[in-house]
Amino acid sequence: MDPFHAAPIGGKEPCTGREPLHSDSRGTRPERPVRDLPERLTLNPEPIMALFGRSKLSAGLDIGSGFVKLVVVDHSKSEPEIVQIATSPLVPDAIVEGEIMDPALVAATVRSVVESCGLKKKEVVAAVGGHDVIIKRIPMDRMSQADAREVIRWEAEQHVPFDMENVQLDFQILDPDGGGAQMQVLLVAAKRELIENRLSLLADAGLTPRVIDVDAFALHNAFEHSHPDAISGLVALVNLGHESTNVNLLEDGKPLLVRDIPFGTRRLREALQRERGMTADDAEAILLGKADGTDLRRIVADRVDELAVGIERAAAFIVAQSGGEGIGRVFLSGGGARIPGMAEALADRLGVRTEVANPLKRVAVRPEVLESIAVEEVAPMLMLPVGLALRTN
C-alpha cells in the first residue's frame, strides 16, 4: 500500500521499495500447536523500566494487512530515541479482514523485517485488534483493584458478546481516586484464538512477545506522547489502514469508545481501478501522490462519507450517554492519512478540524535513520509501532 523504507543503522544500506516475499502456499493454514497465553492483556505502560534488560531497547511490531512495520526505541537516555525503522510490504491478500491467509509468508516477511534492522534480542511488543477485541467503558461498584479482578469475569458476561470460556480479559479503573459509590472501568476482552494465532505467528518468525497490547491503546500511547496539548475535550483518533479504520474516541485523554469501520485505502484503490481502468499498481501510485491524480480528490470526497458516518455514529453514542459536546478535533493516522485530499475531505464532511497526526513529533530520531527515510512521508503510518515501542514494561 505504501512505499516503506527499511532504515537499518550501523553501516547497513537501507532497503527501499522492497518487493514482498512470495509463497506457493496461498490459502492454506497449517495446524499449529496452542501456546501458553500471557496472563492477561495489558492496557497501559507501567512505570519506567528497561524492557529488554540492560540494553533498554523496545521493539514495536505492527503486522498490518498491507505492511509489516518495526520501530525500535532506545530508553537508556532521559528521553526515548528511535534507533531503527524497518518495513516491508505483504503480498496482496496475505491478510484479509484480519485473518492470516498465508502464515508462512507473513512469518517470513516479519522475520525479514527484524533481520533487516539487526535486532539481536528477538523480543518485541506486539498487539491485537479488530472485531475480535471488545473495548468498552462500564460502571462497577467501587472497590479495590484486587477485588475488581475477582469479579471482572462476571461483570464482563453482561457486556461481552463472546463465549467467556474462550476470552482473555483485562481492565483498568479510570477513576481510582473517585469518591462515588460507582467507578468507571475500561474493559478489554479478546478472543483467545486471536491471541493464540498472534503468538504462533511470532513464534514462527522466531520472536518472543514481551507484551501483547491492544492496537487502540498503542495508538493512544503514541498520540498522548506526541500531541500532549491536544487531549482536552472529545477527540477522535482515526487510524485509516489498508482494509479498515480504527476510531478511538478520547475524552480529556481517557479512552471512551473504540470502533472498527470496514473502510480502508483498498476501497479507494479499487474505485480508481473501476472508474479509470487502471492497474492496481497505477492506482496505488496515484493514492501515494506519485502520479497524476486529477480525479483523486473527487473520488476521495465522494467516498469519505462512509468513514464520516462511522465516526459520527460513534460520537453520537458517547454524547447520548454523557450529554456532553461532540467531537472537537480529529487526528488522522495510518496509510490513508497521506492520501492527497483525505484530511481536507474528512474535515469538510464532519465540519470538524482534522489534521494528520505525527507520532515522531516529540520523539528523537537517530540521525542515521533520518538520513535513510523520508520521515514526513512515513510518519503517519508509524503511529501503531511507535506506540508499542514507547512502552517501557
Q: Are 358 and 379 in contact (CB under 8 A)?
A: yes
Same domain? 186 vs 197: no
Q: Can you give the residue range of the structural domain that contains 63?
A: 1-130+192-227+361-393
Q: If you search the block for the grid coordinates 472537537, which residue do you land on?
A: 328
| Nearest alpha carbon to residue 6 among 82, 64, 85 | 85
Check residue 334 and report its DSSP letter: S
**The predicted structure's pLDDT at residue 79:** 93
Q: What CATH number does the domain containing 322 carry? A: 3.30.420.40
Same domain, 286 and 319: yes
DSSP 282-311: HHHHHHTTSS--TTHHHHHHHHHHHHHHHH
DSSP string, 50-110: -TTGGG-EEEEEEE-SSEEEEEEEE-SSSS-EEEEEEEEEPPTTSEETTEES-HHHHHHHH
Helices assigned H by DSSP within the chain? 103-116, 145-157, 192-204, 215-226, 265-276, 280-287, 296-322, 342-350, 367-372, 375-378, 383-389
Q: What is the DSSP letter of 381?
A: G
Per-residue pLDDT of the chain (393 residues; tens, 9 = 90+): 333 333 333 333 334 334 444 444 444 444 444 444 444 455 443 333 333 334 589 999 999 988 999 999 999 999 999 999 998 989 888 888 888 899 999 999 999 999 998 888 899 999 999 989 999 989 999 999 999 999 999 999 999 999 999 999 999 999 899 889 999 999 999 999 999 999 999 999 999 999 999 999 999 999 999 999 988 899 999 999 999 999 999 988 888 889 999 999 998 888 888 888 888 888 888 887 777 766 788 888 888 999 999 999 999 988 888 777 889 999 999 999 989 899 999 999 999 999 999 999 999 999 999 888 887 788 999 999 999 999 876
> Which one-letter DSSP state was computed for residue 252?
T
Nearest by Cα to 287 from 241, 327, 244: 241
- Calculate the CA dihedral of residues 138, 144, 149, 153 and round it to 10 degrees: -40
Tell me the residue type at 360: L
Distances in Å between the Cα of 26 and the Cα atoms of 23, 322, 328 are 7, 48, 45
Same domain assignment for residues 58 and 152:
no
Rounded Cα–Cα distance for residues 89 and 109 (Å): 8
Instruction: Specify the number of domains making up the chain.
Output: 3
Please check whether residues 223 and 78 belong to one and the same domain: yes
The total number of residues shown for the chain amounts to 393
Statement to judge: residues 103 and 212 lie in one domain: yes
Note the pLDDT of residue 223.
95
Q: Are residues 150 and 238 in the same domain?
A: no
User: Do residue 6 and residue 117 come from a single domain?
Assistant: yes
Question: What's the confidence (pLDDT) of residue 377?
Answer: 83
Residues 168 and 61 in one domain: no
* Shared domain check, 178 and 222: no
Q: Which of 144, 163, 191 is the last residue of a domain?
A: 191
The C-alpha cell that represents 257 in the structure block = 469508545
Task: Report CA-CA distances (Å) from 104 to 5, 25, 87, 224, 243.
Answer: 23, 8, 18, 35, 21
For residue 223, give the nearest of 375, 111, 357, 356 by alpha carbon: 357
| C-alpha cell, 198 | 498472534
Quick one: 74 and 196 in the same domain? yes
Last residue of one domain, picked from the residues 146, 176, 191 = 191
**Could you tell me which residues are beta bridge partners of residue 60?**
71, 125
Q: Where are the alpha helices (DSSP H) in 117-191?
A: 145-157
Closest CA to 355 of 254, 200, 226, 267: 226
* Whether residue 151 is found in the same domain as residue 292: no
Task: Report the Cα–Cα distance between both ends of the chain, in Å, rounded.
Answer: 32
The set of residues, in sequence order, having a beta carbon less than 8 Å from that of 39 and lying 6+ positions away, is none
The CA R_g of the chain, rounded to the nearest whole Å, is 20
Nearest alpha-carbon partner for 23 in 109, 116, 110: 109
| 376 shares a domain with 247 | no
User: What is the CATH number for 149?
Assistant: 3.30.1490.300
